Amino acid sequence: MNLLVTGAWTDAKAHFEELAAMGHSIAFLQQEKDELPCDPVWVEGVICNGLFLHHPIGLFPNLRFIQLTSAGFDRVDMDCVRAHGIEIRGARGVYSIPMAEFAVAGVLQLYKQARFFYDNQRAGLWEKHRGLLELFGKTVTVVGCGSVGTECAKRFAAFGCRVRGVDILPREDAAYASMLPLSELDGLLPETDVLVLTVPLTKDTELLIDGRRLGLLKSSAVVVNISRGKVLDETSLAERLENGSLRGAVLDVFEEEPLPEANPLWKLENVILTPHNSFVGEGNGGRLAEVILSALVSFSHK
């Protein structure tokens, strides 16, 4: 297969010989926004992330295989993919472990008043804080029970939390105390101590957690968003965090990225804010290579 590989697969060059031994011809594009290194007609398969944001998928008339380095498909025209019978694969499971660890770490930072102690350490102050909380016994609601959500569920459960899942296609899963359909979400929110968003961004999930649903949460709740920024109403969230209607938030994704300097979330002390970084972990490279190579083998056998 004629493969266009982009620098989104950071270890790609280390696997070129392996790809060639599998019978693939390779063209490489380091920056996806740059000029294509080959005629689009030549391309039969791509390994990329946001390639089609810069080079419309319609430019590739012979495209029949897409392997993304991201878990979500929101940067691809899925209507076009379906219309042309293109096989598309995501990086399912590659980033789930570091993202789940990030979610737990963020909540613990809020519960254990990490900012307070960090500031006091820098100031040389010896001062106790009597308001530390435990994860044990808390109710965690995970919205989106795919690979990331399930890794989150396992880790929160290990701390003694009661973990409930919400998914478009609920199932029996030992990682969750229960899993309910999305239609039941409103009934779960008032009992939720930690709301974890790991749902993919689609037309149905955009602003899924809007101002009304944020209002169903108790004031002691913490919201964690490691899915996509547009799943959550940031303006309503900021207002509730400012007026004490929510305990805090752990946010790694935003409606606009980079997050504008004027956004009030930057200055809120009850927010853990990171620049779309939760997916990073030293095991990603090995997991991604395994996913990509397995997908190519599977596709070539069809």
Q: Which amino acids are annotated catalytic? A: 228, 257, 276
Element counts in the chain: helices (H) and strands (E): 10, 12
- Cα–Cα distances in angstroms (integers) from residue 223 to residues 82, 115, 227, 248, in the given order: 34, 17, 12, 7
Please report, as a single letter, which amino acid is at residue 243: N
> C-alpha angle 225/230/234, rounded to 5°?
70
Separation of alpha carbons 179 and 72, rounded Å:
22
Separation of alpha carbons 64 and 84, rounded Å:
8
Residues 117, 125 contacting (CB under 8 angstroms): no
276: left (phi over 0), alpha (psi -120 to 50) or beta: left
Separation of alpha carbons 146 and 152, rounded Å:
10
Nearest Cα residue to 39 out of 51, 47, 27, 48: 27
Starting at the edge strand found earlier in the chain, the sheet holding 2-6 runs 25-29, 2-6, 45-48, 65-68, 87-89
Separation of alpha carbons 176 and 3, rounded Å:
40
Separation of alpha carbons 262 and 271, rounded Å:
15
How many CA atoms lie within 13 Å of 2's alpha carbon, on the beta-carbon side? 12
